[in-house]
Structure 1
């Protein structure tokens, strides 16, 4: 029998309402390359949700790596660099996509998965010898972070203030922004995210869509030519309405589908986290969204692996025994019964 997967939040296909939205486009002819009615409706609904003007740019691309690489590359000159946490997705999970565009990433140690004003300031202090060093120009953060933690409004305000003071762009990777916005720890509105960043994107792939991420561009000087960058990177899809239809459904004002799906994932992660703590296992970080990082012994790990798939994030060794950090990720489609089964296997193996 196939093992149930907690590997990631994109192992399932697409939420039925989003699939229905795609199917509904099939009977009509549409203008290609994002000039269709469905994409227009999606853009309008996203602008309405975040409370911005109609001239704010919204662009759709098929993947998170393309969203990051195109966005960052579009607003930097060749000698400009990016400040990012050493755990950031663009640092460890995108095969050097940013560096391939010619831009250095200045890595700083994260604090609870996050950048802070102090860490950004240190990066600026250490990268000053111009023109012999690449000039820091953009700060990259993700919300939720790579360990599932969420930025508070105060934290974003403080980082934004420093960025304004030092003429830096603030870019937010929103691969799991739905999970961040649905988190009980979140105190930001959609308009706060828009107001406190220069560019951010809304991740659909990790929240139930077949594919697609929506990039929101505040600065009209960047937005005006953004389509050229999307095209040059091979991401201007002829049938862009496949993404537009899904995001129009995500942000249908008659329901709250985007956050509803994320909230389910968060709830399933919270149950897994509670079970791990109850069984005596330590969390690497408080579970705030849909990722759980926990330390388990190798015997427990081996028992869990007989029933479930998940990532071993890091192997540890202390004076008493070998342990491992495991990552469990839940999704819009996570089966609550499988969470109960995981808790039962965990409890039994932890007593052994």
Structure 2
């Protein structure tokens, strides 16, 4: 059975595994106070063009989101997110469990529009009953989005400008950032310059189970390590994340990290073209490694014989909605086999 249901089905890139083995016997301090983590921090800062950023390491995306957002907000404040956003739809109420509301905005192909953001903020600012409302204080977006779409440079700039003009923090979840960087000409440095905090995903981008959180906004930095520990998110053997991220950003440019997404993006776009040719309709505009499609039961049954995808419910037209996901680890022969199988569905209803 070929696996196309997600982008974290393999362990880690061989280069990262080799680095972990090489460093395994060395004894270093815990909690990220080691030279591996410090090297990784410097390499990430260089690649992101964020010399003054604080960098923290986590073991998963939901834990990163929960820690950053709950530490950033104050009682009576709310985080804004697209209705399809990870914190709104796929985190089991993790943010709400910390006592903060997630206010959902319309999802436009997975994205929050500047118009909807501004309307929401102005609605609060012009209300005569602000004391009855949760104050918008942080906007959460992801790059790529949950549907695989990407914000354009202009969209990111507009959102960043609105947040800064109205006093909102902008947090970008980059759990799949390598695929986003591989699919567009927006750079890591540009993204980092537009937000207050940025997660650089490792788990879905070649690492075992590591994420890096960059905090650019000084108001979020003070005491954050304590906030991380308070929420059970501080890694005692922080070196494990440090070794992996030092390898992912080994040249200080981020080129290796971005390259891990390049073939996955190319493969996903080949699948997208094959789906269209076979009468299987893409759902959304994804230029990245996730492809959501509306597919008939007969065609899906044929593909399910040898290829595993992620069921996503029923599409509005009654067909099945599923996700096929490529990754840095996807084998070329698996892609070729899936392409051939998709072609075989052309004759099926």
- TM category (shorter chain) comes to over 0.9
Is contact 1:152-1:187 (8 Å) kept? no
Does residue 81 of the first structure (1) align with residue 58 of the second (2)? no
Aligned partners of 1:350 and 1:123: how far apart in 2? 45
2:93 aligns with 96
* Aligned counterparts, 1:1-352, within 5 A: 3-53=1-51, 55-127=52-124, 128=127, 129-183=129-183, 186-253=184-251, 256-316=255-315, 318=317, 322-352=318-348
Q: Is the 8 A contact 2:121 2:166 kept in 1?
A: no
**198-207 vs 112-121, greater mean Cα deviation:** 112-121
Q: Are the counterparts in 1 of residues 109 and 285 from structure 2 also a CA contact under 8 Å? A: no
- After superposition, what is the alpha-carbon deviation per residue over 1:295-314, rounded to whole angstroms, capped at 9, x for unaligned? 11110011111111111213
**Cα gap change, 1:350/1:70 in structure 2, threshold over 3 Å: closer, same or farther?**
same
How much has 1:9 moved relative to structure 2? Answer: 0.5
The alignment of Structure 1 onto Structure 2 pairs a total of residues equal to: 344
TM-score by length of 1: 0.95
- Give, in whole Å, the separation in 1 of the partners of 2:58 and 2:98: 17
CA apart distance, 1:222: 1.3
Contact 1:269 1:287 in 2 (8 A): no
Once residues 161 and 221 of structure 1 are traced to their aligned partners in structure 2, the CA distance between those partners, rounded to angstroms, is: 18
Match of 2:130, SS state, is: coil
TM-score (norm 2): 0.95
Determine the C-alpha separation between the residues in 1 that align with 2:219 and 2:120.
Answer: 27
Contact 2:136–2:168 (Cα < 8 Å) also in 1: yes
TM-superposition CA deviations, 1:18-37 (whole Å, max 9, x none): 10111121121111100001
Do the aligned partners of 1:83 and 1:123 also contact (CA within 8 Å) in 2?
Answer: no
Structure 1: runs of 5+ lacking an equivalent: none
Q: Could you list the per-position Cα deviations for residues 142-177 of structure 1 after superposition, in whole angstroms to 9, with x for gaps in the alignment?
A: 000011111111101101111111111111001011
Q: Kindly report the root-mean-square deviation, in angstroms, between the aligned alpha carbons of the 2 structures.
A: 1.4
